[in-house]
Structures are given as structure tokens and as C-alpha cells.
Amino acid sequence: MKPQLADVIWWHVYPLGATGAPIRDRAGDDSGHRLGQIEAWLDYLIELGCNGLLLGPIFESVTHGYDTLDHYRIDARLGDDADFDSLIAACHERGIQVMLDGVFNHVARTHPWVAEGLAGDTDWEGHADLATLHHEDPRIIDAVVDIMCHWLRRGIQGWRLDVAYSVPPEFWRTVLARVREEFPDVLILGEVIHGDYAAITEAGTLDAVTQYELWKGLWSSIADTNFWELDHAIGRHAEIAARTLPNTFIGNHDVDRIASKVGQDGEIIALALLMSLPGMPSLYYGDEQGFEARRGEGFAADDPVRPPLPATPAELSELGSWVLAEHKKLIGVRRRNQWLTHAEVEVLDKQNATISLRSRGADGEEIQTDAWLEPTYGVRIRAGEEVLYEWQA
């Protein structure tokens, strides 16, 4: 993995939702060419301070993208190979790294692999429309290696491995060893929700892991005015970061919007803390505008947190402009202090409504972050006597 890939700040987009593609009723909508809409947001991504585009599923699927039908074909609702090539070229022109979402634990039950006996003995986590792959089958190993290399040859720099924790680690070890023979610098991010994050990452030879424990500690401690919880989460985070690269976040395509959890003021506190901690941050599209939404129930449960974007950033509401401005400042602090990716962190003091933490780099760099929830929300980041960022509601 290229060292600079660990320092990327990703803008995480769910393409089917962001481009307004129909999720379940696809009748008459198989030539959308919507992938090109994302090109209109690349300069916005750069202005935000990010330098990576983390795309949710873009391969042909039945509904939401995680029920894949063909890993080699761009979903017809999004476009075709030409649309993909155009997007990749536009990203490379701007120095934007691209990561794709690889769903290699399961496929749609109507995927040809099921009929070929390569999947289908068991449903994945009770979802009858999803068939778990037979990861011990050499044909599946060969197929996943070929798929990953195919899109790396097409210009991407990394893979997010969906539900990586459900796949046997020996499968990842075998597949990734072969992929790295051709692409030694590829970045592999594993989605892990529960369990021993570092151990799962090490066993599968992944480069990075989604840090859900920290996400939970950040929003919950603010919502409950209980920074003791965050203190515990940061202690765990420090242990994980000492062994592997955590992907840190305050929102993604599977959870309630952070602003709906803690309000827009609370979101700024959460982001300031996130940007002060070791790891590889990602920001979920719309969070930087203070978007609010909660997951629902049933088949459409995720739709509210995966909304369409307007055609261009110029069409965004002015209501989110102040949230965007604070995001730019905090991301700027992070980009000017890239040593934070691999920093050591310790909590200096905490009470229910206040917390102070110190992050240190290998060459003696140091910042201190103080956050408080009473009498009003506020945060300050400083290096010695120099104030790098300060905000109060």
C-alpha cells in the first residue's frame, strides 16, 4: 500500500442514491448514464478538503447494489464502461484517489454463480434474496482475484470489502496475496462491525478496518452528555490504531445521519474530535451540509440516509453553508497535520460534559483538543499556544 493512501480523506458516496436511480422498480430505466453526475461534484470534493472518492456499489445488481448480478458490468442505472472511464479520468486529473465497494461475501440469488453451484447453500444473515458464496471453492477465489485486478487495471486505487468479517480470513489471505502480486500498493479496507477489529484485519491481511466502536462513542457521548463513554472508546481506538489503520467516520450509508443523532452543533463537536484522532477519515456525502435523516423499517429502510444530490453543488440549500464552512476548517487542520494518521492519543481529562485529549506524532508533533457541551457546545484545537481551530455554538 502506498503510504500516502493512508493519509487520504475520503468523500463517501452511495451512487445509486446520490444520482436518484430507482432502487427497487427498475422497469424502463436501464440506460441512466447517471454516473457522470458525480463528475459535477469532484471540484466540490476538493474544495471540501478531501482527496479520495469512496464509491458505494456500482456493479449490475437487482436493487440496492449489495445484491450483485455481474461484477464486471457497471449497473445500467448508472451507465456503462465509458461513463466509468470518464469519471476515473476526471478524478485522476484532480489527483483524487478512487475506492470501489466490493461485495464478495454474497451475491443476488439470481446471480449465475448460484446456478453453477458457487453460492446458495445458505442465505446471508437471513436475507433470502442473498446467497452466500462458497469461499473455499477455488473457482470463487480465482473469480474474486480477477474481478479485483480488472478494476484496478481500470484505474482505481483501493477496495472496500463489504462485510469482510463474514468471510473466512484464509480466503482474504489467498486472494489479496495474488492481487498484491500485480498491485502491491492497493489499499484494502475491510468492513467490520463487531469482534476484534485488529485481529480480523491481521488474520485477513487487510490494510484498514471500519471503526464502528469509535463512531458509536462519538455520537453517543454527545447525545447523552457522557464523555466517559468516549474516553473508553478512545482507549480502545488507540489499541486498534497501534495494530492496524482504522477508517474513522461519523456517518455512512448504513446509519442514521449524525445531525439527526446529535444536532448540527453536536456534529461539529464530533467532527473536531474525529479529525484529532489517529486513523483514515471518511465523510459521508451530505453530512458536510448537515443533512438529517434516520433509517426506516422494511425494504426501504436505508432510503432516507441515501438521498439524491442536486445536479450541481450550486443548487444546495444555503441552510447547510455554515456546517460546510466548519467542515472545511477542520479538514484543513487535518490535512496540515498528516502525522495524525498514525498518532498516539491519550485522554487528559474528562467529565460528563467535557473532554480533553492529546495526540502525539512520532517526531514530537502534538495537538490538544478540548470539547465541552455545557453551558453551550464548543471545541478548541491547539498546538502549544497556537489555536488551530475554535468554535462555539
State pLDDT tens for residues 338-357.
Answer: 999 999 999 999 999 999 99
State pLDDT tens for residues 311-325.
Answer: 999 999 999 999 999
Cis peptide before 375 (omega within 30 of 0): yes
Whole-angstrom CA distances from 127 to 132, 159, 251 are 10, 24, 24
Beta strands in 103-197 (DSSP E): 106-108, 119-124, 127-133, 158-161, 187-190
Q: Is 206 helix (H, G, I), strand (E, B) or coil?
A: coil
Average pLDDT value for residue range 108-130: 88
Does the pTM surpass 0.85? The reply is: yes
Give me the CATH code for the 5-342 domain, please.
3.20.20.80
Residue 74 parent element (H or E): strand 68-74
The grid coordinates of residue 272 equal: 473536531
The answer to whether 187 and 207 have CB atoms below 8 angstroms apart is yes
State pLDDT tens for residues 53-68.
Answer: 999 999 999 999 999 9
Average pLDDT value for residue range 237-265: 98
How many other β-carbons are positioned within 10 Å of the β-carbon of residue 47? Answer: 11
Q: Rounded to an integer, what distance in angstroms lies between the CA atom of residue 193 and that of residue 190?
A: 10
Nearest to 209 by CA among 167, 240, 166: 240
Q: Rounded to an integer, what distance in angstroms lies between the CA atom of residue 123 and that of residue 132?
A: 6
State pLDDT tens for residues 137-163.
Answer: 999 999 999 999 999 999 999 999 999
DSSP of 90-122: HHHHTT-EEEEEE--SEEETTSHHHHTTSEEEE
Place 2 in a pLDDT band, splitting at 50, 70 and 90: low
Round the average pLDDT of the chain to a whole number and report it: 96
